[in-house]
Amino acid sequence: MVAVLVVELCGGGQVTAQPTTEEEAEAVTDTTAPIIQRVQIEGNEHFSEETLKRQIRTSPNRRILGIPGFTWWRWIYQLGEADWMWERLAEALKSGGEPPAYIDTSTVTDDAERLQLYYEQEGFFDASVTSSVEVNELGDRVTVVFRVEAGPATYFRRVRYEGLDALTPAQRRSIGRNTVLDVENGSSEGPFSFRGTSQRYRRSLLLEERQRLVSTLQNKGYAGGSRDSIRAIVDREATPPGSLDVTFRVQTGPQYRFGDVHLWGASPGHQSHRGRESARNGAPAPVPAVRARYGVQSVECVRDEAAA
């Protein structure tokens, strides 16, 4: 039995760390803990430090011109917390500043997992990330260090498309020509399978390719084509080390053709109306073009049982 990974293509891409709300921060923050002075990521050879730091929640307070100790926004916030400060002014100062970045070891642990997940989504499936917290001599400041061992990258070996039998041969060939993946059509298996050309696996590429397939299907009149009708099957077990195969399983649904066009609602500057119009009867009904042509946001295709 071949082990495969079904990639659930939800959302738009990589998931970055989201800051907690002020109420959540107050509920979990230990104000007796040391303050984060800096965050370091060691062993990174593939991505910018800024990109990696966007994936985590642990961060020091902002500095003016990056100068250590010049944490102006933290000073403003702490001034607003002074007992003698007028209440309304205190609230204004706190809203314009930022609370001290106290260390939270559970967040640091979670951040190491977030970084590892990011590397896996970028094709480094054997990556490991560890973390450590270094405390200064006074015990009031810490440096958080994440150590990355990326391991080897994984590349696309073959890309397949299944479930496109309803398309014409020309339409199926165009799937390969217009793919966002770097492939070449040198396979003896026909236009449904393509060889990779040393492109590193990235989950965001699968998301982009899925969206392209959805748009292609809808432009050909397959109104049922959606994100939920396309699954990406990633197979690493049946391939040499450092490579994988991807199969896009597509459910096209029925193809809709123009019959009568019914319009409900109102366009800006016009009165509400309900009309009937015949437009290119019998031609495929491309959903994006219908939206643009009639100035509507949503299109619902209904089978005409009488015509069927």
142 in the same domain as 163: no
Q: Does any domain span residue 126?
A: yes
Q: Tell me which of 122, 149, 176 is where a domain ends.
A: 149
Task: Enter the tokens of residue 304.
Answer: 């005409």
133 in the same domain as 40: yes
| Domain total in the chain | 2
Per-residue pLDDT of the chain (308 residues; tens, 9 = 90+): 334 455 555 555 554 555 454 444 444 567 688 988 899 999 999 999 999 999 999 988 766 545 555 454 455 555 555 555 656 665 665 565 667 778 999 999 999 999 999 999 999 999 999 999 999 988 888 999 999 999 999 999 999 999 988 888 888 888 888 889 988 765 544 558 888 888 999 999 999 999 999 998 888 888 777 878 899 999 999 899 999 999 999 998 888 776 666 655 545 544 333 444 444 555 665 666 666 665 555 555 555 554 45
Q: Residue 200 belongs to a domain with what CATH number?
A: 3.10.20.310
Q: Which residues pair with 250 in a beta bridge?
A: 230
* Domain that includes residue 180, residue range: 155-250
pLDDT at 242: 94
Q: Does any domain span residue 284?
A: no
Ramachandran bin of 82, using left for φ above 0, alpha for ψ from -120 to 50, beta for the remaining angles: beta
109 in the same domain as 160: no
Which of helix, strand or coil describes residue 37?
A: strand
Q: pTM here? A: 0.72
Strand segments (E) across the chain: 5-7, 35-42, 128-135, 141-149, 155-162, 183-184, 193-196, 230-235, 243-250, 260-263, 275-278
**96 CB contacts (<8 Å, ≥6 apart)?**
73, 76
Size of the chain in residues: 308
143 in the same domain as 160: no
Q: Which residues pair with 235 in a beta bridge?
A: 245
Q: Does any domain span residue 85?
A: yes
Q: Does any domain span residue 83?
A: yes
Neighbouring CB atoms inside 10 A of 120's CB total 15
Q: Does any domain span residue 285?
A: no
